[in-house]
Structure formats: C-alpha cells, structure tokens
Amino acid sequence: MDKFLTFEQPLNEKMRAFLRVEHLIKHAKHALNQETLWDTRSGINAFLDIIELMERIDLRHETSKELERLQTLFQHWQTNASVDPERIEAVLEQLEQQSQTVQSMPSKLDHTLRQHTFLNQIRRRTTIPGGCCSFDIPAYHFWLHKPFESRQQDIHDFLVTINPLCDAIHFILSIVRQSAKPTSETASNGYYQKHFHSTVTPQLVQVHISQSLPYYPEISGSKHCINLRFLAQPETLSKPANQAEDDVQFYLSCCGL
C-alpha cells in the first residue's frame, strides 16, 4: 500500500500563523526530550520564534475569536437532525473549555516573556550570525552545561506560559483538518487549478501525494482558487526543479468551516 506525504497551504493569515505556531511548538517540545546542548539550543530558538510571532500578531485575541466562531457554528448545527448530537456536544464542551482557558491567560503574555532576563539576553543576540557563542552570552553557555534534567525543567517552565494557547490552536487545526474528505484529482502535465464556488471558503488545503512518485507540489492560493505545480526535485540540488511533464494523480482536501 502506498504511503502518502501531505503538504498543507494556508489560505488566510490567521491559518498561516496557527500553522507556524504548531510547527514551532512541535520543534520546541521535541527538543525538550533530547539531552544534547545542541538540541536544547534548537528548542530555545523555536521558543523565541514563538515569542516573535506573538509580537507580530495578537495570537491570544485571534485564537479566542476563532474559538467563539466555531462555538457559534457548532451550536447552529445542534438543530440539524442529520448530525450526531453527542459528537457535537463533545466538541462544544472542548471549545468552551479551550475558550475559557485562553481568556484567562494574561493579556500581555508576549510582553511578560520579553521581560524575562535570561531569554532576553539570548533573544537580543539571535539576529547576529553566530551571536549566541559562548563568549557572547556566558550565562547561556553556563546554563547549557547544566545537567539535562535541570535544563529540561527550565524549558518546561518556559513552555507552560504558552501551552494553553498552543493547545487551543492545535484543537482548532484538528477541527479544520477533519472538515473535509480527500478527493481524487489529476494534475495535467503537472499543473492543476481549482476555483472555489461554495459558500464556505476553505481555510487551508491539503495535497496528499504518494511517496512513490518523484514529485512534490508547489502550492499557491487565495480564498478564490488554488494553483498547483508538481515539480521533480533534481538529484543535484543546486539545479532548478522541473515541472512534471506527465499527469500526476493526487488527493486534495479543501478544509474549512
């Protein structure tokens, strides 16, 4: 049986931010369980990227708004006889719980994290190539050589401050991803275009392609349509990729509520 690789493309800025947070929190939590100081550095960098993202976008506000929107939507579906009432009720309970947790978070969470003395030392140097060397931040060098259990606890303490927000974003994404069933599609000569005509605008699209095929999709899109180009990665990576010349079979999920 073929194994499939999934490529996702967000179709609005909110979904783009949510996917980035999900990616970064996975990165940071993975590093939490690795013992080397280089893994710890990697986890700290991911955590600082989340703080940077929170500065650019009011993630707490955007997450709270999306949870409220989904609550309203699922409450409306409760009156629909064709849906499973127990499943709707379970989702609504989770949405309410996530909403209350996010609303109870400090409104100036990113500001609080920016004032963290130790993290701030590192953060100021990350924009400089190689700026986190031992001679740049001796406190960081000292901390990185503490026992693994000590570093692990400190990173856990950092993540606790943002875990409620990240959990809510993860739940939102899981609902969105489950909102669509994959359909079988064909990209003629490696190119595919789809226009959206439904009343529900997709928030993200997923392209599922067999790993046995030598192609990957380059996806661009908006709330009106998406365009896919399937490219063959050259054996010599310094060379440009070429668009597929044959028809490419894949599955497409247009996810949105």
Q: What is the CA radius of gyration of the chain?
A: 22
Asked whether residue 186 carries a pLDDT value surpassing 80, the answer given is yes
Q: In this predicted structure, what is the pLDDT of residue 55?
A: 79
In a domain, 228, yes or no: yes
Q: Which of 152, 175, 198 is the last residue of a domain?
A: 175
Mean pLDDT of 54-76: 89
Q: Of 81-85, 136-140, 170-174, 218-222, which gets the smallest average pLDDT?
A: 81-85
Would the pLDDT of 98 be above 80? yes
Q: Has residue 233 got a pLDDT over 90?
A: no
Q: How many Å apart are CA 47 and CA 201, to the nearest integer?
A: 32
Arithmetic mean of pLDDT, 18-44: 91
Decide: 209 and 184 in contact? Cβ < 8 Å.
no
Would you say residue 145 has pLDDT above 60?
yes
Average pLDDT of 182-208?
90
Q: With beta carbons less than 8 A apart as the criterion, state whether 206 and 253 touch.
A: yes
Question: Where do the DSSP E strands lie in 89-224?
Answer: 183-187, 191-195, 204-210, 215-221
| pLDDT value at 168 more than 90 | yes
Query: What is the pLDDT, as a whole number, of residue 223?
Result: 82
Mean pLDDT of 171-190: 94
**Residues 47 and 114 reside in one and the same domain:** yes
Is 116 among the domain residues? yes
Q: Cα 71 vs. chain centroid, distance in angstroms? A: 21
3 belongs to a structural domain: no
Q: How many domains does the chain have?
A: 2
Return the pLDDT at 176: 94
Tell me, yes or no, whether 98 and 143 share the same domain: yes
Mean pLDDT of the chain, nearest integer = 88
In the structure, what pLDDT confidence band is assigned to residue 113 with cuts at 50, 70 and 90?
Answer: low
Quote the percentage of the chain above a pLDDT of 90: 49
User: Which position has the token pair 């606890």?
Assistant: 153
Q: Which residues, listed in sequence order, are joined to residue 195 by a DSSP beta bridge?
A: 225
Shared domain for 131 and 236, answered yes or no, is no
pLDDT at 182: 94
103 with 187, same domain: the answer is: no
Looking at the structure, tell me whether residues 184 and 155 fall in a common domain: no
